[in-house]
Amino acid sequence: MGMFQFARLQNIEEHNFHNVLEDFYKMGIRGLVRENLQNSLDARLSKDQPVVVKITFGDLAVNDIPGIDELKDRVQCLEGKNQYSQATIKRMQEAMKAEVVQFISFEDCNTKGLRGAKNGQSNNPEDTFGVYAYSKGVHGVEDDPEKEKVRGGSHGIGKIASNSASDIYLMYFANCDEHGEQHIGGTIQLIEHQYQQAYYRATGYFAQAKTYGDDQVQKFPYENNFHHVFAKDTRGLKIIVPFLREGFADEVEMVKTICDSFLIAILEKKLVVEINDKVIDDKTIHMYLSDEQYYQNEISEMKKEFTPLYAQTYTKIPAQKIQISNSETTFNFDLYFTYDEKIPVGRMAIFRTVGMKISDYKVLNNVRKPFNAVLIGGADEDVYLKSLENESHTDISADHIKDAKTKRLARKFLAKLNSELDRIIKEEIKKQNPVDGIIDTSDILYTTEIQFKKQIEKALGTVTINTGKKMMKTNDASAPKKQTKKGGKNKKAPALQKKPNPPKPNLTERDDELKKDRYSVQPNLVKRLIVNGKEIIHFDFSQEKAMQSAANCDILFEIIDGMGAKYAFDLANNYLEILNRHTFSTYAFDGNKIKGVTIPKNGIVELIVTFKPTYNKALKFNYLVEV
Amino acid sequence: MIYKKDANFPYPILTNSSFDYEESEFYFDIELIENSEYYQFVIETTLTSSFIKTLLDLQKVELILIVQAKDNKFYPLKGLNDIIFIPKSRVSLNKRTTLQLQIRAKAQINFSANHELSLFYIQFKDKMNVEKNGTLGFSNIITFDSSNKKSYDLFEKKVDPNLLSEIKIELSTETIVIYYRNEEMQFAGLPHPINNLYVYMGLRTALQQFVLLFAEEGDECVYLNDINTPEEGLYLKLHQLMKQKGVEEISMDNLDAVIYQISDHIITKFTHTVRGLEGSAI
């Protein structure tokens, strides 16, 4: 028996994958993040603390995925009867060949977790574990009716969002309850299939089965002692999606989804989200909203995404109360409303009280009006809005409502909402546009004053010593930026700056090698010249304290381009001979290093280099010394 | 390529931080004028080396402005002080935009006439050559910092139900006033540029008046550099705007060209707005 439970069938009837899988897949990472965060928010434990959701993604060895061997076998047995399912099966089989796959997990804290895991598939609605794990289209009932009203999910298909994000439609959930009991469940969404001479349903449950009588089967979860990616050891739930589909591990898109959908939950300190090392809370969210990497910040260009505007409207403008009636019931909302001529597209965000956005609502006949608004109700309003939501919780409308009377009331409600907003917008326009006054032409008639920064000296980390010459400091950004060349005669400052030695590969090297210090030589101390087919290199170490006590040094070569990028240089490939200009003794070289160069009393080292014909004479260098 | 870091060249180089020359300064400063078509860089250079100055005069080396944004663009200068026009389509100014002057050899340069070199180099000067296209010096770096828009209160609107026409354009001492017979015509609440046609008409009216007032007798053209700056009011604003945008002359024949030069796409913005409204009409 495998670790996944698939119910037996008499024969195969349905040849398609669950249709919602592809619908969710099309929503990409947005759908996945929204569903999981919403579920976590709904399960909030203490009202004094935010729900914290940790999103992690990375690599996972396939062998560490619980029960994977059986799934591999089953996926091999799938047979597609139409083009679409054939393509999906092929994708699954291809994905199964990998040894390492991507995963994403959502771990929540300050949440209840699921109850009654030990009871397994008990069919008791209070055993939320059993309901969550083994049923579709229903959800466990909150014991507090107020909370039940404001919770987000209403279509009972949210769980499948996680399956849809996996190449093989696989997800796990690890639970830790209030008693510290840790269990793990999961599902895989295949199609009805034949496996080892029997027929099975599409859905497999990661569970153990206990059989009663002839054919009564009850499922129980496993105790959680699997790989740490699957571990959940504090109260709450963790969703793990292995085989994460391509393009889903998009951090920018995740951050944006969180800000877009949970703006108010975050601003109201109900939710904190951590993505790998990023933390999005009521303070840091403003940083993301004003970062060009995530959002357009020019108000006049905010034509598709409005979250930075909603944040402004919600935090800066006091709410006004508005009442919208559907002729049977009157609903009370808080409306936050901004009017700003720079806004090119007018939208009203509708939020549930839990702080999750339902819709960027388009007010009829006002989509291009320069306003921005946020609308939030209370518990009753949440219930009503929930009934108007489409399946993916991204808009409200009356179109999907089946009951004729409810539909009529919904239409009335939306018409009232539109006309009330229309009235408010018109009033504001009148207030902001007196018929007599200056016409704002700042977008077409203006002059631009452009400022430049003049960098007088190089922005190098340079220091001046008493001769006015400089040695380059390495790795020091705090050094003074401007120094006049001839000034600073009396200033004392370190002339050579230590550069860390690269780690020595082994300890068998000679002791004196180990003790050498490395310095970068500021280009001012060096003069180079190619004349008569030879290169002369002149080093002036006369003022360098670090060099004064040394009798000799090693000199290292680095190629440098104008932007400061450095490249390796091999002396043997380019140079034939390196000679001391005064003593005519030759120096050995190895790699990019000349060894044992004598430093005379006056500190002036002059080398004469004979180079190969292939040597690129246009190269520019930086030098390092070791003493 | 712009030189941001010092490096050791195989010959002496003139920069603000090297000691290859006894005295070595190579600075430049810029002033910028822009209009809807181009940037106009006014460049002033300070260069200490008379050796290099002579080479420039003899056209053996050239002074090049390098503008580095996404890529590098090169503009040769005619002298130490010059004005370079660059179409806006060719460069973008942002925080990464960096400018530098460099001196580049147009032919092989021998240093024997260079008496400005430091001690070490001077002993070799007769034998020293820099090949064609070699860099002989590079200046300080100038980076774009920020830009500020200054707007002008040029237009006023008024509603007058007793107007004999539907609209009327009038020039007051400070502004161009557009009268509307009814407030519907002001399109309150719709995007601004929908009123741009009125702005265009008003601007043309005011510029016509400018020409009539400031043209010398017998001349149909106003040369902005020659006339006295208007003391105040509407004409001062127009004068400033034209000067800032590089307009040199204005007459009845080039009014539309002047409007194009001093404004930022009045009609294009109008068109986009109308098209946008058409697209979102529901």
State yes or no: pLDDT of A499 exceeds 90.
Answer: no
Closest-CA residue in chain B for A482?
A: B17
For residue B140, the distance in angstroms to the closest alpha carbon of chain A comes to 6
Closest-CA residue in chain A for B144?
A: A452
CA torsion angle B28 B29 B35 B39 (round to 10): 20
Alpha carbons within 13 angstroms on the beta-carbon side of residue A174 total 25
Cβ separation of A523 and B32 shorter than 8 Å? Answer: no
Mean pLDDT per segment of 10 residues, for chain B of length 282 residues? 86 90 90 85 92 93 91 91 90 85 94 91 90 92 85 92 93 93 86 90 95 86 89 90 91 94 93 81 48
Q: In 3-state terms, what secondary structure has residue A149?
A: helix
Interatomic CA distance for residues A255 and A203, integer angstroms:
32
Q: What mean pLDDT comes out for the span A190-214?
A: 90
State yes or no: pLDDT of A501 exceeds 60.
Answer: no
> Residue type at A416?
K
Q: In 3-state terms, what secondary structure has residue A245?
A: coil
Interatomic CA distance for residues A524 and A156, integer angstroms:
73
Query: pLDDT tens, A222-275?
Result: 999 999 999 999 999 999 999 999 989 899 999 999 999 999 999 999 999 999
For residue A589, the distance in angstroms to the closest alpha carbon of chain B comes to 20
Cβ separation of A441 and B191 shorter than 8 Å? Answer: no
For chain B, positions 149-168, list CB contacts with chain A under 8 A. Answer: 149-159
Cβ separation of B188 and A462 shorter than 8 Å? Answer: no
Question: Which residue in this structure is represented by tokens 């009829």?
Answer: A364
For chain B, positions 29-88, list CB contacts with chain A under 8 A. Answer: 29-30, 32, 34
For residue B218, the distance in angstroms to the closest alpha carbon of chain A comes to 31
Cβ separation of A618 and B280 shorter than 8 Å? Answer: no
Interatomic CA distance for residues B34 and A446, integer angstroms:
11
**Residue A549 — very low, low, confident or very high, per pLDDT cuts 50/70/90?**
confident
Interatomic CA distance for residues A332 and A324, integer angstroms:
7
Q: If residue A83 lies in a helix (H) or strand (E), which one and from where to where?
A: helix A83-95
Q: Which residues of B touch A557 (CB under 8 A)?
A: none
pLDDT at A463: 34
**Candidate from A204-218, A369-383, B106-120, B228-242 with smallest mean pLDDT:** A204-218
Query: pLDDT: is A360 or B149 the higher one?
Result: A360
**Residue A154 — very low, low, confident or very high, per pLDDT cuts 50/70/90?**
very low
Cβ separation of A524 and B266 shorter than 8 Å? Answer: no
Interatomic CA distance for residues B243 and B262, integer angstroms:
9
Contacts of A231 (CB under 8 A, 6+ apart): A174, A182, A224, A238
Q: What mean pLDDT comes out for the span A423-441?
A: 86
Joined together, the tokens standing for residue A87 give 């393509």
If phi > 0 it is left, if psi is from -120 to 50 it is alpha, else beta; for residue A555 that is beta
**Residue A470 — very low, low, confident or very high, per pLDDT cuts 50/70/90?**
very low
State yes or no: pLDDT of A472 exceeds 80.
Answer: no
pLDDT at A149: 56
* Chain B interface disruption, residue of A343, A347, A369, A441, most B CBs within 10 A: A441
Interatomic CA distance for residues A516 and A62, integer angstroms:
48
Domains of chain B: 26-143 (2.60.40), 155-273 (no CATH)
pLDDT at B58: 93
Q: What percent of chain A has pLDDT over 70?
A: 86
Answer yes or no: are the C-beta atoms of B177 and B188 closer than 8 Å. no
pLDDT at A131: 86
Cβ separation of A437 and B156 shorter than 8 Å? Answer: yes
**Residue A626 — very low, low, confident or very high, per pLDDT cuts 50/70/90?**
confident
Cβ separation of A618 and B134 shorter than 8 Å? Answer: yes
For residue B269, the distance in angstroms to the closest alpha carbon of chain A comes to 9
Q: If residue B270 lies in a helix (H) or strand (E), which one and from where to where?
A: helix B266-279
**Could you write out the DSSP letters of every residue in A384-443?**
HHHHHB-TTSS-B-STT--SHHHHHHHHHHHHHHHHHHHHHHHHHHHHH--SSEE---TT
Q: What mean pLDDT comes out for the span A408-423?
A: 93
Query: pLDDT tens, A131-146?
Result: 888 877 555 555 555 5
Cβ separation of A436 and B124 shorter than 8 Å? Answer: no
Q: Which residues of A touch B32 (CB under 8 A)?
A: 450, 452
* Chain A interface disruption, residue of B1, B8, B29, most A CBs within 10 A: B8
Cβ separation of A455 and B140 shorter than 8 Å? Answer: yes
Alpha carbons within 13 angstroms on the beta-carbon side of residue A343 total 27
Query: pLDDT tens, A73-84?
Result: 999 999 998 998
State yes or no: pLDDT of A520 exceeds 80.
Answer: yes
State yes or no: pLDDT of A350 exceeds 80.
Answer: yes
pLDDT at A175: 95
* Chain A interface disruption, residue of B4, B5, B201, most A CBs within 10 A: B5
Q: Which residues of B touch A442 (CB under 8 A)?
A: 149, 151
State yes or no: pLDDT of A483 exceeds 80.
Answer: no
- Looking only at the bridges linking them, the beta strands covering A236-242 and A170-176 are antiparallel
Average pLDDT of chain A? 84
Cβ separation of B152 and A444 shorter than 8 Å? Answer: no
Cβ separation of A527 and B6 shorter than 8 Å? Answer: no
For chain B, positions 238-257, list CB contacts with chain A under 8 A. Answer: 240-241, 244-245
- Looking only at the bridges linking them, the beta strands covering B176-180 and B155-159 are parallel
Cβ separation of B262 and A445 shorter than 8 Å? Answer: yes
**Residue A480 — very low, low, confident or very high, per pLDDT cuts 50/70/90?**
very low
Interatomic CA distance for residues A49 and B193, integer angstroms:
49
Q: Which residues of B touch A370 (CB under 8 A)?
A: 189, 191
Cβ separation of A368 and B29 shorter than 8 Å? Answer: no
Interatomic CA distance for residues A332 and A341, integer angstroms:
28
